[in-house]
Structure 1
């Protein structure tokens, strides 16, 4: 079976080295998890003068930060009018402004730091496969244009020219978006965070987290121990029992991906402008070209871990539906990772005890969202002012009947896949 369990075989690691170290004595901040959120926060906190220790259970990029499709999409699942209705004028406007600038945070960081990360700010297409989806694209376009965003509505001919795919009615183009090598980005974040003074330990997960006086004692699986004034738990879809209720507040799903062999000559009409694409189906399919010219396509997979190449067959069928001319092309790579969703499709910020902070739930916007959250999270962890946060601090709440979530989600996926098939 062609599968890479730790990192995608498509994305290149930068050649620069990352120096790991574990601090002796107390620190200002322990960050648990070395993904985009954890490393971006560690970077900004270290540059603000805090002593920071990052602790990661695996390797850099072993989680969603190294396994995603590399799409950098600004905004959230909900559009500005919904955010204003849910959060009110002040916080709704703050969250809208923040979410509008998440792609800026990524591409500006790459440029200002000279990061060794393949990237292209060529835009993102949300392709509509039904008239109902096209109506949603019209609403999204109207709301973001009212915010001054560089977006556009696409008709059927225009979406066909941008994607090269069959079957779309039109779509929404967000020119603020783009693509990156996600594995290179998380490696480069680790490099500049450690160069800024943050400590980093890999392959030694946190075994216990205990309140001690006004701070926290963090102990790793190998027996290392460190005390910190504050702790950021940046584990998202890989959250376990370390923080009560955290894992039970999330629904995690498997995101499966395939990569073709490099596209042969004569197929440059497929994604000619280099945009990333997500479609409007209930079970979303997303795709882009990789830096070495492959078509990389992803979507939801089984709730269990894959057993054979047949577990990626639904993606091969989607590839052939969209691009019939690629039916004979070899699939060179197959891989999967875990992502976390929240019931309301919004990122959630929690502080169940003073000094214990966490954000979870990306909903397909993780690269921009979690990278951009690093700066306000670092400021909040430094001075405790909630007004610097773009999200409200909310209580941790278990999802009812959470232990049955796999059956429920698997049933929903099967049902939605059937409905999507009927809407060809």
Structure 2
């Protein structure tokens, strides 16, 4: 692909010297080896180091070059399923634990930024889920009710209210969850890395895990640095970038590409009509679009893209069409950034926690809520690595279940995305 067709994310790159990159120069022995330096891996490394565990993090790329630095920066509490459905799936006891965990997930992010003084642009004005059909509005009404009775700072929006808050056209209403907000996700990755290294964790970037096996009661992690890391426990925090390191893991997930665009900074008159109060928005379409404003006043809009890597600017055209459908006033505003990243979908739309062998833990499948979910999961995982008590985990451990005919499923998802996009276009 010609690199001129896309650019780096719009997010301000923080000071790279904010954390210490410590290469692996010889064999090492630690309490916890973490494979993957995104939100999950760094949050767990930080929390584990605070608990006195020795920690080594291995990130095959540079910090923020995976999904954690390439996403839209929306910090959303909750899960895809509403509280009543979670109780049906998990039962009263486990369901309540999971609901409480998910409800407070966004708090973890904003509290960490504020109390630790992280250099992370953030706005906590809430998240709007917007309805474009009567059926979607009915579902959102139930969602708002279920969270409000549990004390969530949320409200239902009618057509006039959602038009006022978003400046967008075509919505019947929606709900506003004030627990949510937006951040610079790339800066948050570096902030977590700084906290982890200050707490005593060691991070090596450009170092991948190439092999994993039990040896003498410990885990031996072979690395691309040529030196092994011996660990009592291992966290594989690779999510959508998982490979064959853990048998079956990659084939238990469906990888998708999220494409994003960012406009030029909007002039003052458009700043007043496009998301004037700073909320983030996701809509109710089958192939949803999500959008927010950046710290420098750009509209940032994303959605699902082609299953393969982009080949030209045309692969982002559907996002520009969606932007002008929502905000006709942005006709003629330049698109200055285009980028994409990989995310992982699970077939049941729930995050999965696995421990295929004792001391080897995997968490995957964020379903669009990766920032809040993985930041909040880190301390729970650290508790588990320290104590070995499964009650420390908000999700039950489950076996890895590969998706039958995995390669064909990916082809089918691509066809489904195209079909759903056509149906969405027919609904206006």
Q: What interval of TM-score do these two structures reach, taking the shorter chain for normalisation?
A: over 0.9
Name the counterpart of 1:334.
Answer: 338
| Residue 16 (structure 1) shift | 4.3
- In the aligned structure 2, how far is the partner of 1:247 from the partner of 1:33? 14
Q: Does 1:392 align with 2:400?
A: no
Q: Match of 1:202?
A: 205
Aligned residue number for residue 377 of structure 2: 373
Q: How does 1:104-143 map to 2 (within 5 A)?
A: 104-143=107-146
Deviation at 1:229, TM superposition (A): 0.3
Aligned to 1:266, the other structure's residue is in SS state: helix
- How many angstroms apart in 1 are the aligned matches of 2:56 and 2:400? 25
User: Equivalent residue for 2:21?
Assistant: 20
Name whichever of 126-135 and 217-226 sits farther off: 217-226
Is 1:402 equivalent to 2:406 in the alignment?
Answer: yes
Aligned: 1:254 with 2:257? yes
TM-score under structure 2 normalisation?
0.97
Superposition misfits of 4+ residues, deviation over 6 angstroms: none
Match of 2:308 in 1: 304
How far apart, in 2, do the equivalents of 1:168 and 1:212 lie? 58
Cα deviations by residue, 1:75-122 (Å, 9 ceiling, x for unpaired): 000010010000000000000000000000000011111101000110
Q: Residue by residue, what CA displacement relative to the aligned partner does 1:359-397 show, whole Å, maximum 9, x if unpaired?
A: 000011000000000101000011100011100000000
Alignment partners' CA distance in 1, 2:242 and 2:221: 16
Alpha-carbon separation, structure 2, partners of 1:147 and 1:11? 36
Matches within 5 A, 1:229-378: 229-267=232-270, 268-378=272-382
CA contact (8 A) 1:258 1:335 kept: yes
Deviations 1:41-78 (A, max 9, x none): 00000010000000000000000100000000000000
Contact 2:37/2:57 (8 A) holds in 1: yes
Contact 1:14–1:188 (8 Å) recurs in 2? no
Tell me the number of residue pairs that the alignment of Structure 1 and Structure 2 aligns.
422
Q: Give me the CA root mean square deviation.
A: 1.0
Counterparts of 2:258 and 2:211 in 1: how far apart (Å)?
A: 29
Cα drift, residue 18 of structure 1: 1.6
Whether the 8 Å CA contact 2:253–2:346 is kept in 1: the answer is yes
Residue segments in structure 2 that go unaligned for 5+ positions in a row: none
After TM superposition, give the deviation of residue 14 of structure 1 in Å.
Answer: 3.7
Deviation at 1:406, TM superposition (A): 2.4
Gaps in structure 1 of 5+ consecutive residues: none
State the SS of the aligned residue for 2:89: helix
User: Counterpart of 1:116 in 2: which secondary structure?
Assistant: coil
Residues 12 and 181, structure 1, Cα contact 8 Å, conserved in 2: no
Query: Is 2:61 the partner of 1:89?
Result: no
For structure 1, which segment, 22-31 or 316-325, has the greater mean C-alpha deviation from structure 2 after superposition?
A: 22-31
Alignment TM-score, normalising by the size of structure 1: 0.98
